[in-house]
Amino acid sequence: MSSFAFHGWRVSYTEFGGGPAAVTPSGKRGTTARRAPAMGRPLIMAHGVMLAQTMHWPLAEHLAAHGNRVITIDLLGHGQSDRPQELTLYTMGSFSQQLEALMDHLEIEQAAIMGTSLGANAALELACRAPERLRGLVIEMPVLEGALLAGALTFTPLLAALTFGAPAVRTLSRLARAVPRRVAPHYGNVLLDTLRRDPTAQAAVLRGLFFGRIGPESSLRRQLKTPALVLGHRRDPVHLFSDAGMLASEMPNARLVEANSLVELRLSPTRLTGEISAFLDEIWGASATPAARGSAKRERARRSSRGKARTGESAPARRSRSAKSA
């Protein structure tokens, strides 16, 4: 993995596009190696809390194959990046600065950013602080005011376990590290990697999140003019669908897409990746590749077909009506 320095600490990242960057974690070449190199359409992808950039790799490969220069990042305290004990490095403000520092390191003037959970809130912080650096936002499962109680009830016991039960957690970490990576599927290893890490570093991340604000307040969100696609799902007390809907209604240039479940984008990604690809084509305009334009056209046709199906009108009836009008 490549890396850059942020306040003297190493932050890891991975680029996806045509050529050598398209090699998958298994060592094989993925779909991006069989397409033209990515155009000047940078997309930075930020992971959820206590996870790593690997959670985004399958999606990153797909989006790179459609003409985007995709960069995934391990924020400090996560994945292959350093794990300092300074709590100020684990606030949303600091995470947003790390995203901008990656852009500076790669000499990217403007990028789209996709963030999940923690990454979503960090992207919103960057949009508030430096909107001119953002072409668009893909916000998946934001954590806003509605989820504060559920978040506290979820992460406070976890922080206590990581702090006071560190010996037991280290034993669990050793057991997780003993599981060969080759025997687990990709997302199985994503979850196992969370268990494989030292509890002290993970506790520092959670304390840092409690140290600062969880995200921009409503008055600031209403001023965000950056185009945004907001993804949310139901039946999750930490990532409330109402929070996603509220954000989409507050931002003047945002729209909401409902996922069928927490794992749809990972296990059945076709529909949502089509939505994301179409949104990226919209914000980059004429720079869309033929492959990307084809994907957007198919997605628009799918949405149109779904809308007609909801009217209850049969396909033969629609064809008959069209013929008469002609």
The amino acid at residue 286 is A
The one-character DSSP state at 29 is B
Q: Note whether 124 and 168 are within 8 A (CB).
A: no
Task: For residue 53, tell me if it sits in a domain.
Answer: yes
Residue 193 lies in a domain: no
Is 278 part of a structural domain of the chain? yes
Q: How far is CA 302 from CA 67, 254, 291, in A?
A: 21, 21, 17
Whether residue 48 contacts residue 55, with contact meaning beta carbons closer than 8 Å, is answered with: yes
Q: In angstroms, rounded to a whole number, what is the distance separating the alpha carbons of residues 197 and 203?
A: 11
Whole domain around residue 115: which residue ranges? 2-147+213-303
In a domain, 295, yes or no: yes
State the pLDDT at residue 305.
Answer: 57
Quick check: is 244 in a domain?
yes
170 within domain boundaries: no
Extract the residue ranges of the chain whose pLDDT is less than 50: 19-21, 34-36, 287-296, 299-300, 307-326
Could you give the count of Cα atoms lying within 13 Å of 270 in the half-sphere of its Cβ? Answer: 3
Is pTM beyond 0.85 here? no
- Phi and psi of 205, rounded to 5°? -60, -45
**Does residue 188 sit within a domain?**
no
Number of domains in the chain: 1
* 160/195 Cα distance (integer angstroms): 16
Class of residue 105 by CB neighbours under 10 A (exposed 0-12, middle 13-18, buried 19+): middle
CATH number of the domain enclosing 32: 3.40.50.1820
Kind plus residue range of the DSSP H or E element containing 15:
strand 9-16
Instruction: Examine residue 97 and state whether it is found in any structural domain, yes or no.
Output: yes
> Comparing C-alpha atoms, which of 162, 164, 137 is closest to residue 244?
137
